[in-house]
Amino acid sequence: KAKELGKNRYCLYDDKIGKAEIRKMELEKDLLVALENNQFYVAYQPKWNVRKNSLYGFEALVRWEHPRHGIVSPGEFIPIAEKTGVIIPITKWVIENACQQCKAWQDKGVTQAVSVNLSIRLFQSGNLYELVQHVLEKENLAPHLLELEITESMVLYDLDDIILQLQRIRSLGVRVSMDDFGTGYSSIGILDRIPIDTLKLDRLFTVDIETSKKHAIINAIILMAKDLKLDVIAEGVENEEHIAYLTQLGCYVMQGFYYGKPMKVEEVNKWLTTMPVTR
């Protein structure tokens, strides 16, 4: 009996791996045609300045509506898209969408910036600068209204090259932020060289912010950011306790479910009518 059970278990396990593998292969294949089949949309999540009690900006977060699997999270498909290279046209599409939307909000009097997540592949493509410049021109958007989010892991690839590319892009007036700060291979040592405007404190710091050790770390990051003249944004802000701790520690810009989840444009527009937007 036990042997049978063990065997069954083994089969089940094996089957699961098989299913995950099959799904991955399916997604990889389907990703190749997802753009032309209009299966992506961009959700926008607000960033809120609590001191000014006003909107700070939005982050563009891509969503994939798979015809059979439903919404597939970016956490699942972005790594696959990076592997095959389709992340490049996808990112281009997200930047275009974000710039177009930002321009549309501007025309309605909402003048804040929109940020887009980059992938290392864009830096390796060799024409990120041209891409960004082209989209800004096409959408007729002021460059300071576009922000690009990079992560700590990207700078491991070729720091000098990334610095050069970021310098060119920032010379356009485009802003750059370091996403998920504090979780990657500590990039503190390169903060004096990497040309950025903003640090985004990873959600992990916000989650259990009530511990004194977390306070010490957040406090140090915020002090350092101020000295370096960087903005600090806290991710994953879900309740008033988070807000109280963060403001006490000197962080005044928040992103998280407390203020708003990533939303479709129509929802954002509804959300905007409920919030006091400084123009």
Applying CB under 6 A, the residues found at the interface with ligand C2E are 45, 61-62, 73-75, 78, 91, 94, 117, 119, 149, 179-180, 203, 236-238, 255-257, 262
Stretch that binds Mg ion, among 44-52, 208-216, 231-239, 256-264 (CB under 5 A): 231-239
Query: If 0-12 CB within 10 Å is exposed, 13-18 middle and 19+ buried, where does residue 2 land?
Result: exposed
For the bound state, the minimum distance from the C-beta of residue 45 to Mg ion, rounded and expressed in Å, comes to 9
Residue 62's binding partner out of Mg ion, ligand C2E, none, with CB under 5 to 8 Å set by partner kind: ligand C2E
Contact track, Mg ion, 109-148, x by CB under 5 A: --------x-------------------------------
Sole binder of Mg ion in the list 122, 180, 225, 262 (CB under 5 A) = 180
* Residue whose Cβ sits closest to ligand C2E: 256
* Long-range contacts of the stretch 98-105 (C-beta < 8 A, 24+): 98/42, 98/60, 98/146, 99/135, 99/136, 99/138, 99/139, 99/141, 99/145, 99/146, 100/139, 101/42, 101/44, 101/60, 101/265, 102/58, 102/139, 102/141, 102/145, 102/146, 103/139, 103/140, 103/141
- Work out whether 231 is an interface residue with Mg ion (CB under 5 A): no
For the bound state, the minimum distance from the C-beta of residue 152 to Mg ion, rounded and expressed in Å, comes to 11
For the chain, strand residue ranges (E) read 40-49, 54-66, 70-72, 113-117, 146-151, 175-181, 198-201, 231-234, 253-255
270 C-beta neighbours (distance < 10 Å), count: 11
For the bound state, the minimum distance from the C-beta of residue 192 to Mg ion, rounded and expressed in Å, comes to 22
For the bound state, the minimum distance from the C-beta of residue 3 to ligand C2E, rounded and expressed in Å, comes to 43
Sole binder of Mg ion in the list 139, 149, 152, 231 (CB under 5 A) = 149
Q: Closest CB to ligand C2E among 25 and 207?
A: 207
Residues that bind Mg ion (CB under 5 A): 117, 149, 179-180, 235
